[in-house]
């Protein structure tokens, strides 16, 4: 981009550029905002020898938000944060594979189901702050920004990682918090440092290195404690990263630090600005008081549930307006990925610009008087009328803030509780002064507090939707409820709609949209519940969306409910709207206007309101006019078929498969022998697989664990249980306690702080209550250590998740074994932990059945039919390569193939040795085992042999070989990567940075592919 043609501040100096224009060093953001007012929607500033182009007009920001032309750029200031957070989500370069891996692993943590689990922790920490503020009522003022920072740090620590910073109980700051604050201040100062002054800051440099080392150690200790506990399936951010196995330990540490930075800095700033504007705008405050009073009345201690927070629409508008005026992450950089233009100015691939969000949020599209605080700018009507790229407080595109929904739920909850409880007194007539670090916050802002004694009387508006539906469908009317869902929210709503449809007499079925890519049925209505994924179809709706334009919709009747989050304004409801319009264009009949359910608002209310209108429309067309009002019969008779777990199995798409054999692969009599089992399983009719696919298994808890749980819960194992209303688990019949605890729930997950609080409520012993802690142990462990109390079963079931499927690589080839599959499984066992899935699978006997399905592996992980390959694995990670090598034998492929395989001892656990030696004799592979307990040539592990045989490895790589790695993602996978970097550096003379770029390119082009798991 030719910056000489862009406006810039006056009085530019040689060498220094615009450094002396405004208070650039202390207030760079506010200086840039002043420049934008004077220079317009695009301008440049020069910092020494570097020109930075700022973009702030709504039209121009819409251009750089186009993901086909621009992507995130890690600008110099953000690159400095890499010294703290490495390749975390916020600071990773686009080409670094860990960004996509971490994004995919962590995205479920911000699904609606996960958000509901965080709510109790958010409420607990909010009450801790309120307890602290109550002590200031009528006394000393509270320091707003500082207390908001304590709250948000404690919330992300507990909800994300099970770590309690205890900020409100400590007399001094937690060492991590102090080190983080100093480090962020150092990084900010470093970005403004003049090059020739560096020697003056060596003391600061040393202190920074010490602070980073301290933070790393604290986080590493948290990770080590979680691993040592053996807990799995916690569902929080740390659990997802450890259980997923995709991320190495250094990257997990980077992600934890990233979330601790982003999860507390931005939210605390937003809350502080919102409280400032509330005390300066009494009319706005009165409206907010009316809203919270209508919900909680005179309650001394409101107990809002998750759905209540979405109903605080005006409180949420207040937060959005505060974020408009002062977005706490105030600027983000965008890089051209093709040669293109911005507002007519050419920009070349690789050049970047900085979006100045506070200036964007003051563009003319926001109307007159943009400096005024007006939450009504965020009414749904005005939001719809505004350009979608006009509001960017969380960045843009696929790399926008992944945790925005978490932050806004936390902030809305707290702000509502504070408005309900206190009179906020601006005792010092505070005038806004902004402190700029990584983010922006009010500085020196204090409030005095008094308890509110009067409530605002509110008359609830009449409901515009009748939520109850009368009538019955004609007998035999089919209703298909189809979903487009990545994270499960739309799938769950689809199931609820189907359940309601059954009660209204429809014959219902639930399925993903892709099941109907060949066309929609005409024998009954079709209801679609769909979301967008970054403006694209969800994984289970890709085929349907692609086929939609060619469908014949004649005779099809449909209704569409879109589920989304208005925070993603640029893509909000994009796919539901496309599906709705596309179906209409095919000639299908729309039964009711498309519904919009907003996850950042009253989601359940939106769904309920639309559902009532939808049922009314369906019954007008498909209802039985002669049906009489339903009378409660004296009794009903229900025939229940299938097995006890039928409903659970159906939810996961499982079939019953018969075990044909289960044999030991290892000499377990040898002192080094660690069991590894070889299972052969018959596939049901109609089920097929491809090489390297996975078998997804739903296991059972072992009997001794079930008996222990029943004893601690003080239940009779043979006692019968029936659920009324909506069951907490997919159970369609009465079950015994033994069946419930065996098949349906996880019993070894770590207890959260909220679980311990519930346990304390049912423990009558004060010393035991005081000693209860969420220490990484399971609920059963904690109950056993504190036996005075127990949990009612209904409370226990709220705390434990449903049984989760486990995934095992298939080790056979369909070319040689099309109707049977093989598995290699190591039982996971330590002194105090037994793996649920591996124990279940390895104990199966011939003739037993396993509930399972075949799941496809990543397409990139399938070995090519020809061409050179390098396979690297350890232990049972050899499984998919056994199938791939069998394919090569069956096809007669003799292209070069190296298989590096780590085991303990050649006489103990060289798995399937005779089979692999026969394949090697046939020319299908060259086996390269390593034995860490009996190393040959000093090669303990696969990485050592790869480096030692670098001539052969490099020859294959130069010939286009693809590399496949399977096994332990914590130790082996990072070590193998390092070995390939060493090979490249040794063969080319490149430094490690160049070698890393080479490996990154292999990964990006699927020439280096990993399928790794947590070790």
Instruction: Quote the mean pLDDT of the chain.
Output: 89
pLDDT in tens, 483-515: 998 877 888 899 889 988 988 889 999 999 999
pLDDT score for 428: 95
Confidence of residue 765 (pLDDT cuts 50, 70, 90): confident
Q: Which residue has the higher pLDDT, 1014 or 718?
A: 718
With a cut of 80, say whether residue 1015 has pLDDT above it. Answer: no
Identify the pLDDT of residue 1003.
87
pLDDT tens, residue by residue, 113-136 = 677 888 889 999 999 999 999 999
How far is the C-alpha of 772 from the C-alpha of 782, rounded, in Å? 7
Residue 643 neighbours by CB under 8 Å, 6+ apart: 649, 656
Q: What is the pLDDT of residue 802?
A: 87
Q: Which residues are within 8 A (CB) of 475 and not within 5 positions of it... i.e. 6 or more apart?
A: 505, 624
Q: What is the pLDDT of residue 636?
A: 58
Pairing of strands 677-682, 655-664: antiparallel
Cβ pair 122, 413 in contact under 8 A: yes
Q: Does the structure show a pLDDT above 50 at 465?
A: no
Q: Give all strands of the β-sheet with 142-143 in edge-to-edge order.
A: 142-143, 446-451, 422-425
DSSP tag of 182: H
Task: Identify the pLDDT of residue 315.
Answer: 97
SS3 966: strand
Position 113 scores a pLDDT of 67
pLDDT at 458 over 60: no
Is the pLDDT at 975 greater than 60? The verdict is yes
d(CA 681, CA 687): 12
Please, which residues bridge with residue 967 across strands? 1012
> Average pLDDT for residues 805-833, to the nearest whole number?
90
- The angle subtended at Cα 274 by Cα 272 and Cα 277, nearest 5°, is 110
Exposure string for 259-286, b = 16+ CB within 10 A, e = fewer: bbbbbbbbbbbbbbbbbbbbbebeebbe
Cβ(822)–Cβ(679) under 8 Å? yes
Whether 182 and 211 have beta carbons less than 8 Å apart is answered as yes
pLDDT band at 637 (very low <50, low <70, confident <90, very high): low
Average pLDDT estimate for 140-169? 92
Q: Per-residue pLDDT for 54 more than 50? A: yes
Residues near 447 by Cβ (< 8 Å), separated by ≥ 6?
Answer: 141, 142, 144, 275, 279, 424, 425, 426, 427
Residue 459 — very low, low, confident or very high, per pLDDT cuts 50/70/90? very low
β-bridge partners, 750 = 778
State the pLDDT at residue 240: 82
pLDDT at 970 over 90: no
Neighbours of 40 (CB within 10 A): 13
- What is the structure's pLDDT at 629? 53
* pLDDT per residue as tens digits for the range 582-633: 999 999 999 999 999 888 777 877 888 899 999 999 999 999 887 655 554 5
The answer to whether 69 touches 337, Cβ cutoff 8 Å, is yes
- According to the model, what pLDDT value does residue 960 have? 94
Q: Is the pLDDT of residue 899 over 90?
A: yes
pLDDT in tens, 354-391: 999 999 999 999 988 899 999 999 998 898 889 989 99
Predicted confidence band at 462 (pLDDT cuts at 50, 70, 90)? very low
Task: Provide the pLDDT for residue 604.
Answer: 78
Compute, in degrees rounded to 10, the torsion defined by CA atoms 813, 815, 818, 822.
-20
**Distance, CA of 529 to CA of 481 (rounded, Å):** 7
As a whole number of angstroms, the distance between CA 623 and CA 591 comes to 13
Active site residues: 266, 394, 401
Nearest to 240 by CA among 151, 155, 412, 117: 117
* End-to-end alpha carbon distance in the chain: 48
**pLDDT at site 568:** 72
Instruction: Determine if the pTM surpasses 0.85.
Output: no
* Cα radius of gyration (the chain): 30
Q: Which long-range CB contacts under 8 A does 544-548 form with residues at least 24 apart? A: 544/484, 544/513, 544/514, 544/516, 544/517, 545/513, 545/575, 545/578, 545/579, 545/582, 546/517, 547/517, 547/518, 548/579, 548/582, 548/583, 548/586
Torsion of CA 695, 797, 227, 246, to 10 degrees: 40
What does the pLDDT read at residue 475?
87
Confidence (pLDDT) at 456: 65
pLDDT of 965 > 70? The answer is yes
Task: Find all residues with CB under 8 Å of 1002, minimum gap 6, and list them.
Answer: 963, 1008
* pLDDT above 80: residue 663: yes
Q: In this predicted structure, what is the pLDDT of residue 464?
A: 40
DSSP 804: P
Whether residue 401 is annotated as binding a ligand: the answer is: yes
pLDDT at 932 over 70: yes
Residue 168 reports pLDDT greater than 70: yes
Distance separating alpha carbons of residues 347 and 414, to the nearest angstrom: 44
Region of poorest pLDDT, from 390-399, 475-484, 639-648: 639-648
Residue 656 burial (CB count, 10 A): 12
Pairwise CA distance, residues 947 & 954, whole Å? 10
- Check pLDDT > 80 for residue 312: yes
Confidence at residue 210, expressed as pLDDT on a 0 to 100 scale: 94
Residue 725: count of CB within 10 angstroms of its CB: 5
Full set of structural domains in the chain with CATH: 1-50 (no CATH), 97-451 (1.10.630.10), 478-622 (3.40.50.360), 645-806 (1.20.990.10), 860-1013 (3.40.50.80)
Mean pLDDT calculated for residue range 418-428: 96
Region 153-162 average pLDDT: 90
Average pLDDT for residues 423-444, to the nearest whole number?
A: 92
Percentage, residues of the chain above pLDDT 70: 95
- Kindly state the percentage of the chain with pLDDT values over 90: 59
Assigned token pair, 942: 């696969």
Mean pLDDT of 920-945: 94
Residue 689 backbone phi and psi in degrees, to 5: -150, 165
pLDDT at 768: 86
Across the range 734-758, mean pLDDT stands at 90
């Amino acid at each position: 981009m030719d910056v000489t043609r862009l406006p810039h501040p006056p009085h530019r100096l040689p060498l220094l550029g615009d450094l002396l224009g405004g208070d650039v060093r202390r207030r760079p953001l506010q200086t840039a905002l002043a420049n934008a007012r004077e220079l317009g929607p695009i301008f440049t500033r020069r910092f020494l020898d570097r020109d930075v182009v700022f973009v702030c007009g709504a039209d121009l920001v819409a251009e750089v938000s186009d993901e086909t032309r621009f992507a995130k750029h890690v600008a110099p200031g953000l690159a400095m944060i890499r010294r703290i957070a490495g390749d975390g989500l916020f600071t990773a370069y686009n080409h670094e594979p860990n960004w996509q891996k971490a994004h995919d692993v962590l995205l479920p943590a911000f699904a609606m189901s996960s958000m509901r689990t965080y709510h109790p922790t958010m409420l607990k920490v909010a009450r801790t702050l309120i307890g602290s503020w109550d002590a200031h009522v009528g006394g000393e003022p509270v320091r707003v920004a500082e207390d908001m920072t304590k709250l948000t740090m404690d919330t992300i620590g507990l909800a994300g990682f099970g770590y309690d910073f205890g900020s409100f109980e400590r007399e001094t700051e937690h060492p991590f918090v102090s080190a983080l604050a100093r480090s962020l201040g150092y990084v900010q100062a470093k970005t403004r440092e003049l090059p020739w002054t560096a020697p003056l800051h060596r003391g600061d440099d040393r202190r920074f290195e010490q602070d980073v080392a301290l933070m790393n150690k604290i986080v590493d200790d948290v990770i080590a404690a979680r691993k040592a506990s053996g807990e799995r399936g916690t569902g929080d951010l740390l659990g997802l990263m450890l259980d997923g196995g995709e991320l190495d330990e250094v990257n997990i540490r980077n992600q934890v630090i990233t979330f601790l930075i982003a999860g507390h800095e931005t939210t605390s700033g937003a809350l502080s600005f919102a409280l400032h504007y509330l005390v300066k705008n009494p009319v706005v405050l009165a409206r907010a008081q009316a809203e919270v009073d209508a919900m909680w009345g005179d309650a001394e201690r409101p107990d809002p549930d998750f759905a209540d927070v979405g109903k605080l629409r005006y409180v949420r508008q207040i937060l959005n307006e505060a974020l408009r005026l002062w977005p706490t992450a105030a600027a983000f950089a965008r890089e051209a990925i093709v040669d293109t233009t911005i507002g007519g100015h050419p920009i070349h691939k690789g050049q970047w610009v900085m979006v100045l969000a506070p200036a964007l949020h003051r563009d003319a599209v926001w109307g007159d008087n943009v400096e005024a605080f007006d939450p009504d700018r965020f009414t749904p009507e005005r939001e719809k009328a505004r350009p979608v790229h006009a509001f960017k407080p969380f960045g843009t595109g696929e790399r926008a803030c992944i945790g925005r929904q978490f932050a806004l739920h936390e902030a809305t909850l707290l702000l509502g509780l504070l408005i309900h409880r206190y009179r906020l007194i601006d005792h010092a007539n505070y005038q806004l002064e902004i402190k700029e670090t990584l983010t922006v916050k009010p500085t020196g802002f204090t409030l005095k507090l008094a308890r509110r004694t009067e409530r605002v009387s509110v008359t609830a508006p009449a409901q515009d939707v009748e939520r109850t539906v009368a009538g019955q469908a004609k007998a035999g009317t089919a209703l298909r409820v189809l979903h487009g869902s990545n994270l499960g929210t739309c799938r769950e709503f689809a199931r609820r709609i189907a359940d309601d449809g059954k009660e209204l007499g429809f014959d219902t079925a639930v399925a993903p949209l892709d099941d109907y890519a060949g066309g929609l049925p005409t024998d009954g209505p079709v209801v679609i519940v769909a979301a967008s994924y970054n403006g694209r179809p969800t994984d289970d709706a890709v085929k349907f969306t692609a086929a939609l334009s060619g469908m014949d919709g004649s005779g099809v009747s449909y209704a569409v409910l879109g589920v989304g989050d208005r925070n993603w304004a640029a893509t909000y409801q994009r796919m539901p709207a496309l599906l709705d319009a596309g179906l209409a264009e095919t000639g299908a009949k729309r039964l009711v206007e498309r519904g919009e359910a907003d996850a950042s608002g009253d989601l359940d209310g939106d769904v309920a309101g639309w559902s009532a209108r939808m049922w009314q429309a369906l019954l007008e067309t498909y209802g039985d006019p002669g049906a009489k009002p339903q009378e409660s019969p004296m009794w009903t008779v229900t025939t229940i078929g299938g097995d006890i777990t039928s409903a659970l199995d159906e939810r996961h798409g499982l079939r019953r498969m018969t075990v044909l054999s289960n044999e030991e692969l290892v000499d377990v009599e040898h002192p080094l022998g660690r069991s590894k089992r070889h299972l052969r399983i018959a596939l049901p009719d109609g089920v097929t697989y491809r090489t390297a696919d996975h078998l997804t298994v739903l296991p059972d808890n072992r009997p001794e664990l079930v008996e222990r749980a029943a004893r601690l819960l003080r239940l009779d194992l043979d006692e019968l249980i029936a659920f009324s209303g909506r069951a907490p688990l997919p159970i369609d019949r009465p079950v015994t306690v033994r069946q419930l605890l065996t098949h349906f729930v996880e019993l070894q997950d770590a207890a959260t702080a909220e679980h311990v609080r519930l346990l304390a409520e049912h423990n009558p012993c004060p010393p035991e209550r005081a000693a209860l802690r969420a220490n990484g142990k399971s609920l059963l462990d904690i109950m056993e250590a504190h036996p005075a109390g127990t949990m009612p079963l209904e409370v226990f079931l709220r705390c434990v998740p449903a049984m989760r499927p486990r995934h095992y690589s298939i080790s056979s080839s369909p070319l040689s074994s099309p109707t049977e599959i093989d598995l290699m499984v190591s039982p996971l066992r330590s002194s105090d932990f037994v793996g649920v899935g591996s124990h279940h699978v390895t104990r199966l006997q011939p003739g037993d059945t396993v509930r399972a399905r075949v799941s496809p592996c990543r397409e990139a992980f399938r070995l090519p039919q020809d061409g050179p390959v390098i396979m690297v694995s350890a232990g049972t990670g050899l499984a998919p390569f056994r199938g791939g090598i069998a394919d090569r034998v069956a096809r007669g492929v003799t292209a070069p193939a190296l298989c590096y395989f780590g085991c303990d001892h050649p006489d103990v656990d060289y798995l399937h040795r005779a089979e692999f030696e026969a394949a090697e004799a046939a020319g299908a592979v060259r086996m390269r085992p390593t034995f860490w307990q009996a190393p040959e040539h000093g090669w303990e592990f696969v990485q050592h042999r790869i480096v030692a045989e670098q001539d052969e490895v490099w020859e294959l790589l130069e010939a286009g070989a693809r590399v496949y790695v399977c096994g332990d993602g914590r130790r082996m996978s990072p070590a193998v990567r390092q070995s390939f970097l060493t090979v490249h550096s040794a063969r080319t003379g490149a430094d490690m940075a160049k070698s890393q770029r080479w490996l990154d390119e292999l990964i990006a082009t699927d020439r280096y592919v990993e399928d790794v798991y947590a070790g």
